Amino acid sequence: MRSNMNSRGLVWIVVLCTVHLNVVKSLENGLARTPPMGWLSWERFRCNTDCKNDPDNCISENLFRTMTDLVVSEGYAAVGYEFINVDDCWLEKERGFSGELVADRERFPRGMKDLSNYVHSKGLKFGIYEDYGNYTCAGYPGVLGYLEKDAQTFADWDVDYVKLDGCYSHPRDMDRGYPEFGYYLNRTGKAMIYSCSWPVYQIYAGMSPNFSSIIQHCNLWRNFDDIQDSWASVESIIDYYGNNQDNIVPNAGPGHWNDPDMLIIGNFGLSYEQCKTQMALWAIMAAPLLMSVDLRTIRPEYKAILQNRKIIAVDQDPLGYQGRRIYKHNNIEIWSRPITPIYQNYFSYAVAFVNRRTDGTPSDIAVTLRELGLSYPGGYSVEDLYEDVNYGVLTPQTKIKVKVNPSGVVILRADVQPQYEHSSRFSQPLRTPYDPYNQVFQVRQNSF
């Protein structure tokens, strides 16, 4: 079978073998078996420390307590959002007398252990932010020189998730420094998800990150720019991941994820269609789903996007394969991710059709399942994950047509349809040789 495989198939085999090797050597702290989900303050609330004039929006224990309450009461926890993550600007500018980290005494008067207890009392988990440097990006004390002490402090506060940024440090030092801090986290005996900014700072410095080491020491990591509240920013991230997918995709898997940064759904900068696109593509990319939005004021249609259980299920698929951009032409893109269930070594797929065009009318995309790489002869049960439309069982020869709004998305799920023994029509062909990895290939441009 290998001899008559096309070159695309070969690439995919290499990719999956790499994933397999990575799984063997990856960080095994038992955490983040699927991409972490939760709420993170940075994109929406930034470094607002002005509690005098803006008490409801400043970085303070009140803000995190309020968001904790809303994650539970508004149904986010019920669909899987679990972490309440503090970002930069929670610290005093100076360490304490014995060199310990101290939370800002006015904005976090009860301290971080108390906030952590509060989050846990609501059944959620608590995340915190630090920086592998002399300072955090906003100028608060970094962990450099205090690695062991700070790891222990986080364990003492019952922290479940640590994001370690990379400002005010030398990217060359990170190959040693990030593993070292991870070592001290591990030594505390308290299981903490470890989110690293290691590769992105090295890429900015013109270095090639050592991803086999990064996978071994981090549960997730940032590859690219901070997300901003604009469609241009989301597009730049989509393009980065698509253009560099051959290097990026193989690194993802259970326990170790690429992090394209927060969900900005429900804020000021994206239209409704664009919000749907971000959610769909983050799920295809097996991205952490970290909302950064004011849950007090989010409109119901955006809340519905964030709580779309079918799309969350794609993101959280247990196989943990990150999806790929399989087609890009005339500002139309198709992204595809292999997911469960698997039957007879054929994957199921989530497929996202993205319209990056700006001519103000929906674009039609027509393609057969086979052209998408869905070749299981028994067919696939196909449903639309936003529109609640079920197309029934479609065979590989079926041509599907979707209408995609400008800067919008249509995301389908195609579950391989098991054929049982009594189905004489398919029972024989299923036993013919096939290559399970030769299923995703470039959709031919002339098929549109």
Ligand X SMILES: *[C@@H]1O[C@H](CO)[C@@H](O)[C@H](O)[C@H]1NC(C)=O
Residue carrying structure tokens 């995609």:
404
Minimum distance of ligand X from residue 337's CB (angstroms): 27
- Binding segment toward ligand X, per CB under 6 A, in 189-197, 293-301, 318-326, 382-390: 189-197
Q: d(Cα 253, Cα 35) in Å, to the nearest integer?
A: 9
Q: Residues 210-249 vs ligand X: string with x where CB under 6 A?
A: x-xx--x---------------------------------
Minimum distance of ligand X from residue 145's CB (angstroms): 7
Verify binding: residue 189, ligand X, rule CB under 6 A: yes
Query: Which of the following is catalytic: 131, 150, 160, 165?
Result: 165
Minimum distance of ligand X from residue 244's CB (angstroms): 19
388 is known as an active-site residue? no
Q: d(Cα 264, Cα 262) in Å, to the nearest integer?
A: 6
**What is the footprint of ligand X within residues 6-45 (CB under 6 A)?**
28-30
- Binding segment toward ligand X, per CB under 6 A, in 56-64, 167-175, 246-254, 268-276: 167-175
CB 63 within 8 A of CB 40: no
Beta carbon nearer to ligand X, 151 or 289: 151
165 is known as an active-site residue? yes
For 89, the 3-state DSSP assignment is: coil
Angle at which helix 111-121 crosses helix 61-73, to 10 degrees, equals: 10
**What is the footprint of ligand X within residues 325-384 (CB under 6 A)?**
none
Beta carbon nearer to ligand X, 189 or 206: 189
Beta carbon nearer to ligand X, 30 or 318: 30
For 4, the 3-state DSSP assignment is: helix
DSSP 140-169: SB-STT-HHHHHHHHHHTT--EEEEE-TTS
Contacts of 349 (CB under 8 A, 6+ apart): 336, 337, 338, 339, 372, 373, 374, 380, 413, 414
Angstrom CA distances, 384 to 40, 343, 391, stand at: 29, 21, 8
Q: d(Cα 281, Cα 175) in Å, to the nearest integer?
A: 30
Minimum distance of ligand X from residue 366's CB (angstroms): 45
Beta carbon nearer to ligand X, 131 or 315: 131
Residue carrying structure tokens 């951009």:
325
Beta carbon nearer to ligand X, 170 or 444: 170
Q: Which residues are catalytic?
A: 165, 226
Interface ranges with ligand X (CB under 6 A): 28-30, 133-134, 144, 168-170, 186, 189-191, 210, 212-213, 216
